[in-house]
């Protein structure tokens, strides 16, 4: 199957700083990517839909000024957590949609963010 | 919004035995997909099996099969000949073509040697 990567796999940052997480589709062009958040022992919750060349669509309750999403190319979407706080500590997973394969979606391996 | 319900937070099965994980969902759409994903401790989401709603035949992938009851909006996963490597969190998910996933709350499966 198609490969989606995320970088970094783990990151620790201090409260008040910003951290950027990358999601890349390695062997297909993804016009749409999705960002999910997963708290410990909980399910994946959609945060936003990232569309190449346009603004992201955020789910209700997700602060767009805090979670900045940029989908600058067909293979890369970034999620920047600004002014991070300990409650932002979570596991962030992206998925990328492959228009060349019936819009199948593939998940990245996830990024564990810890804010101290 | 669509909802996906997994009523079994935890399940256990003896190695080599069979276990069934339950899932129900709510939608007003007629065209959609249903999935079971496995999430081991590494947290990588691994596709176990998928079902297109328009297909009446239940999907099967080796030891994994589903019982898809469209009218009842039920989508259970049966794991036969359970193996130690099957131990993981299992998520049922709903998706329309090209759109985002809606996940259930997950079932933690333990395989007892």
pLDDT value, residue B2: 73
Q: In the structure, how many helices (H) and strands (E) does chain A have?
A: 0, 11
pLDDT number for residue B96: 82
3-state SS, residue A86: helix
Confidence category of residue B8, pLDDT binned at 50, 70, 90: very high
Beta carbons of B43 and A109 less than 8 Å apart? yes
Residues 71-90 of A with CB under 8 A from B: none
Please judge whether B98 and A32 are an interchain contact, meaning their C-beta atoms are less than 8 angstroms apart. yes
Q: How confident is the model at residue A44 (pLDDT cuts 50, 70, 90)?
A: very high
Measured distance CA(B2)–CA(B103) in Å, rounded: 9
């Amino acid at each position: 199957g198609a490969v989606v990567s995320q970088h970094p796999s783990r990151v620790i940052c201090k409260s008040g700083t910003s951290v950027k997480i990358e999601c890349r589709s390695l062997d297909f062009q993804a016009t749409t990517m999705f960002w999910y958040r997963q708290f410990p022992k909980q399910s994946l919750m959609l945060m936003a839909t990232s569309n190449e060349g346009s603004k992201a669509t955020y789910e209700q309750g997700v602060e767009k000024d805090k979670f900045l999403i940029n989908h600058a190319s067909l293979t890369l979407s970034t999620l920047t957590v600004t002014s991070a706080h300990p409650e932002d500590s979570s596991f962030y997973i992206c998925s990328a949609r492959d228009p060349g394969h019936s819009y199948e979606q593939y998940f990245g391996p996830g990024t564990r963010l810890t804010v101290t | 919004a669509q909802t996906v319900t997994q009523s079994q937070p935890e399940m256990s099965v003896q190695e080599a035995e069979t276990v069934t994980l339950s899932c129900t969902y709510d939608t007003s759409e007629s065209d959609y997909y249903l999935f079971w994903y496995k999430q081991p401790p590494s947290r990588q989401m691994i596709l176990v099996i998928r079902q297109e709603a328009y297909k009446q035949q239940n999907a099967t992938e080796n030891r994994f099969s589903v019982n898809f009851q469209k009218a009842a909006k039920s989508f259970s996963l049966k794991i036969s000949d359970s193996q130690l490597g099957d131990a993981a969190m299992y998520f049922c998910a709903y998706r329309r073509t090209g759109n985002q996933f809606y996940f259930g709350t997950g079932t933690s499966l333990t395989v007892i040697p």
